[in-house]
Structure 1
């Protein structure tokens, strides 16, 4: 009988220990769950991180584009930038926008001026490359959206 009573006490102690570890695990998992719902990993990764890395990549590509130009081209770009900026910011060329009584600089005119003078901006260069790529795909018979 004594051995049976000892066996029952041992089982109860084991059950109590198992319940304690289960409670601790449940508490830890609940804490992690509450933390993750507050700042979701997927929201952070898909939103903040992805946007930040895309911005960094775009800036790196832009810097590479401008740094790869010859010194003569860079000098011409400075001259054209000044001329086109002055042209696009003249009062008669400004674009009317709500909240800006004097209008804003005509960005489209600036970009066209830079292209016409032989120094396209990185943005217009990337756009031209995309158009060229789309035309090549169309010529191969592929569907382009």
Structure 2
């Protein structure tokens, strides 16, 4: 009986040792398979990473545009922003949009007001630069003009 008990205890110890060695390997294998099947590197690079870098680049360009202004221009921009945002947010100037009871801020009116005030927004500046580049490419013959 004593011999039988010793054999059973020895076998249980071996089983326990084998389970403890197998657990880290099993966890590592499971973790890697979940990681590799859950998201591929191309999805991450083309989705999250590319979008994040584009946003960071756009923020740097916008900040550089506004920081390059003179103090007088910054003061004028501040005055124009107050006036134009008040004008574009008035109830009679708001734009109707589905799902909004009280209408939404009139962004086109705000941009035009800022441009007429002598302080164009970064979006307006950017669209002007794009138009200039398209005109230069058309002049060089790289773009065929569209007929309407």
Under TM normalisation by the shorter chain, which class is it?
Answer: 0.7 to 0.9
Provide TM-score, normalisation by structure 2: 0.74
Structure 1 counterpart of 2:79: 79
Q: Return 5+ residue gaps in structure 1 as ranges.
A: 1-27
Structure 2 counterpart of 1:91: 91
Structure 2 counterpart of 1:143: 143
How many residues are treated as equivalent by the alignment?
118
CA distance in 2, matches of 1:30, 1:92: 60
Q: Alpha-carbon deviation of 1:33? A: 5.5
Is residue 36 from structure 1 mapped to residue 36 from structure 2 by the alignment?
Answer: yes
CA distance in 2, matches of 1:35, 1:51: 21
Structure 1 counterpart of 2:45: 45
Question: What whole-Å deviation, never above 9, does each CA across 1:19-65 have from its counterpart, x for those lacking one?
Answer: xxxxxxxxx99975653221211111110011011100100110000
Superposed CA RMSD in Å reads 2.0
Q: Return 5+ residue gaps in structure 2 as ranges.
A: 1-27
Question: What whole-Å deviation, never above 9, does each CA across 1:75-111 have from its counterpart, x for those lacking one?
Answer: 0000000110011011110001112111001000000
* SS in structure 2 of the partner of residue 104 of structure 1: coil
Structure 2 counterpart of 1:104: 104
Provide TM-score, normalisation by structure 1: 0.75
**Change beyond 3 A, Cα 1:40–1:139:** same
CA distance in 1, matches of 2:30, 2:41: 16
CA distance in 2, matches of 1:94, 1:57: 31
**Change beyond 3 A, Cα 1:34–1:69:** same
* SS in structure 2 of the partner of residue 102 of structure 1: coil
Question: What whole-Å deviation, never above 9, does each CA across 1:112-136 have from its counterpart, x for those lacking one?
Answer: 1111111010111001100011001
**Change beyond 3 A, Cα 1:78–1:33:** same
CA distance in 1, matches of 2:78, 2:34: 55
Higher strand share: 1
